[in-house]
Chain A
Amino acid sequence: MPRVLWTHLMKDLRIEWRSKEAINSMLFFALLVVVLFSLAFDPRGPFSQSIAGGVLSVATMFASVSALNQAWAREIRHQVMDAQRMAPTPGAELFLAKVLANFLFVTIVQVILAPVFLVMYNLRVVGQAWLLAVVLPLGTWALVANGTFFAALSIRSRNRELLLPLILFPIFVPALLAMVNATGGILTGESDPGMWIKLLTGYDIIFTTVSLLLFDTVFNAE
């Protein structure tokens, strides 16, 4: 891993370790969404199996928005962003480090949340459970890579925090669909998640590449 990327990543992890803002807010928010959904939809019997994938994906999605906004709000505070823009290292490395950090945070939240979720929704995995370990990271990456990019984009506007979900969610639709269908397929064992995994992989590759290419344009937009 390039040294500068590592430097950025360590900085983000250290700050999060000291403040724990992102993980705590995400965890609580995701828990709330899971509880609210279970109150709203009464998940008992086979019905819970079929909606669980969707609930988990949507909970992650809503929860990560707060963390993604945080990620750049930290840089905006005290104008650290200006110091970053003036550093002679590519902005794309800062971006990639933030994606990695956020990916780690969201994954931690998912790992903590998963047992709670299994208990609350009385789930049992009918399909191949190990595939979940492929689908969830892929879906999380799609969310976090795009989210970090659009958070950097929306933080430059007037209605900073408000704008992120408005531009992120429409573009995230195909990944969400793939994630929900793949997890649903794995939980119920009724359909093959293979095609959805391929779609997610393609989505990840395309959007991560484009984000890396266009990040400096957004970062230095003035």
Chain B
Amino acid sequence: MKKLATGFYAAIVVALMVWGFYQAIYVAPDESTMHEVQRIFYYHVPNAIVCFAFFAVSLLGSIGYLAFRRSNPEWAQRADAWALAGAEVGVVFCTVVLITGPLWGRRAWGIWWTWDARLTTTLVLWLIYASYLLLRRFAAGPQMQTLAAVLGIFGALDVPIVYMSNRWWRTQHPAPVFGGDADSGIKDPAMLAAFGWNVLAWFAWGVLILLLRYQVERKHQKNAALEAREALESHV
């Protein structure tokens, strides 16, 4: 049943992705100043939004682990699996953002990279969660989960501060697509539609990967528990 549901969901995700691609490449009108290269925006921005969502999942998982690790070990293990899955999938999406950004920047600004607020924040965000994944590799045993959860909370706490500090520092990045000043953002409804579809498609895709990753991690945990039980029952 679970497999069937996953397969069904996966099919929807693929359809959404195809539709999103069609919208972004064939339907959305040409942008007047940046032309074709602007279309990368339909991938860049949705990935950025989605990656924040997954880091939020990771933060909730970390908090959940610390909250339940004594009272309800089963829930704690689940929370830890969410924390790991969220961080890993988040890092992947963040990597896509960091790759597509310079591709666009090369054409629009004439440079690959600039130490601008949003770029630096994204990079630091990537570094923080990469170090989180490193810690998970380096530390061993049940203490690793506790240490990782603590680092996860610290990392998440740092993100808004990094953003503020960079904003005061220098900003070159285009103003936010939504919620920026009057001149910013896109107004063409066809563009908005393409953008919306792609946010939806990438989000759905991310959730699919997140769920799969979560299930894999749960299997790992269950295997470890099983092995432990066998070791306990074996006679040397």
Residue positions of A touching B, CB distance < 8 A? 150, 153-154, 156-159, 162-163, 166-167, 169-171, 173-174, 177-178, 181, 195-196, 199, 202-203, 206-207, 210, 214, 217-218, 221-222
Asked if B150 and A217 make an inter-chain contact with CB atoms under 8 angstroms apart, the answer reads yes
Given contacts A163-B135, A174-B161, A202-B161, whether A153 and B150 have CB atoms under 8 Å apart is yes
Q: Are A167 and B135 in contact (CB under 8 A)?
A: yes
Q: Which residue of B lies closest to A222 (CB)?
A: B143
A-B contact count (CB 8 A): 88
Quick one: given A163-B135, A181-B169, A203-B161, are A171 and B150 in contact (CB under 8 Å)? no
Closest to B151 in A: A167
**In whole Å, how far is B65's beta carbon from the nearest beta carbon of chain A?**
11
Q: Which single residue of chain A is at the shortest CB-CB distance from B140?
A: A158
Which residues of B are interface residues toward A (Cβ below 8 A)?
A: 66, 124, 127-128, 130-132, 134-135, 138-144, 146-147, 150-151, 153-155, 157-158, 161-162, 164-166, 168-169
Cβ-defined contact, B138 with A221, below 8 A: no
Main secondary structure of the interface of A (DSSP, over half): helix
By a CB distance below 8 angstroms, the chain B residues around A166 are: 131, 134
Q: Could you show 6 A-B contacts with beta carbons less than 8 Å apart? A: A157-B139, A162-B138, A170-B128, A177-B165, A177-B169, A218-B150
Contact check: which of B134, B144, B150 meets A214 at CB < 8 Å? B150
Judge whether B165 and A221 touch: CB under 8 Å: no
Of all chain B residues, the one with the shortest Cβ separation from A170 is: B127
Q: Is the CB of A221 within 8 A of B140?
A: no
A78 to B66, CA, bound (A): 29
Q: Enumerate chain A residues within 8 angstroms of B128, measured Cβ to Cβ.
A: 170-171
In the complex the two chains form, is A218's CB within 8 Å of B140's CB? no
Within 8 Å CB of A203, what residues of B? Answer: 161
A210–B134 CB distance below 8 A = no
Q: Do residues B135 and A157 form an inter-chain contact, with CB atoms below 8 A?
A: yes
A16 to chain B, nearest CB (A): 27
In the complex, are the beta carbons of B134 and A206 less than 8 A apart?
A: no
Query: What is the CA–CA distance of A89 and B166 in the complex, to the nearest angstrom?
Result: 40
**CB closest residue in chain A, given B163:** A174
Bound CA span A181–B165, Å: 10
